[in-house]
Amino acid sequence: MSQPVLSVSGLAKDYGNGQGCFDIDFELYEGEVLCIVGESGSGKSTLLSTLAGRLSADAGSVRFRDRAGSSHELTTLAEAERRRLARSEWGFVTQHARDGLRMNVSAGANVSERLMALGQRHYGQLRETAAQWLEKVEISRERLDDRPTAFSGGMQQRLQIARNLVTQPRLVFMDEPTGGLDVSVQARFLDLLRRLVHDTGIAVIMVTHDLGVTRLLAQRTLVMQQGRVVEAGLTDQILDDPQHPYSQLLVSSILQA
């Protein structure tokens, strides 16, 4: 617990027109959920993609500590190594389940894909592991051979979680995972997520514009505006006593309802 899973300092991604994200510093520890909130276009998703190596950073450093305890500098990491980490140590949950799932193969194959990528070649074991994970995300194991197209939006999103967590990653990136879900489904989804994070001790970085999600899940929160972090700290502190004018606006405009 003493060493952070991820430490970010001075990170910048500049699109060249003033857009992007700049001067990002934070640390993330095991079992911690960090939410990044802010309005549309404030650089949340850019930051997430830059951290996950999907975009190349223009300045700063991102250090990731893997399961074995060795440290990797993600901004200069070779692609082969980055892809290896992405398969074994990270997960990425997208806003639209369609982007994160293979829609034309069964739920079981979706969950097993990462295991097979890591070299598991026993069909019976793969299937059993997949069934267990479906149950963990509250999908009946009878649905193992159904395609995700036959699933509801909430189930697809839970399937995406199972597909990402099956290899027990240390760090999961989530880009507005509750974006397309209605409120009751959202609540169950968040409940499930909180339990999984608690049980597995993974670290999560989640982009959201829903402060309700932040309050439920996150220990710490970054508030972003125009590509910069304007306020960072414990979630309760930020939501109950926002200091920066923009955070105050955000909190007052959303929590009133």
Partner 1 sequence: MTETCHSQWQYNFAFLDENTKRMLRRALLKAVAIPGYQVPFGSREMPLPYGWGTGGIQLTASIIGQDDVLKVIDQGADDTTNAVNIRRFFARVTSVATTSSTAAASLIQSRHRIPETPLRPGQIMVFQVPEPEALRTLEASEVETRKLHAHQEYGLMHVKLYEDIARFGHIATSYDYPVMVNQRYLSSPSPIPKFDNPKLHMSPALLLFGAGREKRLYAIPPHTRVESLAFEDHPFTVQRWEQACALCGSHDSYLDEIITDDAGARMFVCSDTDYCQQQQESKA
Residues near partner 1, by CB under 8 A: 79-80, 83, 87, 102, 105-106, 108-109, 112-114, 116-119, 121-124, 126-127, 144-145
Give me the least distance between CB of 147 and partner 1, in Å please. 10
Structure token digits, residue 119: 């070299």
32 vs 113, beta carbon nearer partner 1: 113
CA dihedral sign, ordered 42, 221, 170, 101: negative
Give me the least distance between CB of 124 and partner 1, in Å please. 5
112 vs 214, beta carbon nearer partner 1: 112
87 vs 209, beta carbon nearer partner 1: 87
144 vs 216, beta carbon nearer partner 1: 144
C-beta of residue 165 within 8 angstroms of C-beta of residue 91: yes
Give me the least distance between CB of 119 and partner 1, in Å please. 8
Closest CA to 218 of 243, 177, 190, 189: 190
117 vs 255, beta carbon nearer partner 1: 117
Structure token digits, residue 194: 């909180």
116 vs 255, beta carbon nearer partner 1: 116
Give me the least distance between CB of 95 and partner 1, in Å please. 21
DSSP characters over 165-215: HTT--SEEEEESTTTTS-HHHHHHHHHHHHHHHHHH--EEEEE-S-HHHHH
The torsion defined by the Cα of 199, 200, 203 and 208, in degrees rounded to 10, comes to -60
127 vs 215, beta carbon nearer partner 1: 127
Question: How many Cβ atoms from other residues are within 10 Å of residue 235's Cβ?
Answer: 20
Give me the least distance between CB of 126 and partner 1, in Å please. 7
Give me the least distance between CB of 14 and partner 1, in Å please. 25
| Extended strands (E) in the chain | 6-14, 20-28, 33-38, 59-65, 71-73, 90-93, 171-175, 203-207, 220-225, 228-234
Give me the least distance between CB of 241 and partner 1, in Å please. 47
Distance (Å, whole) CA 132 – CA 12 = 40
The radius of gyration of the chain from alpha carbons, rounded to an integer in Å, stands at 18
Structure token digits, residue 196: 């999984």
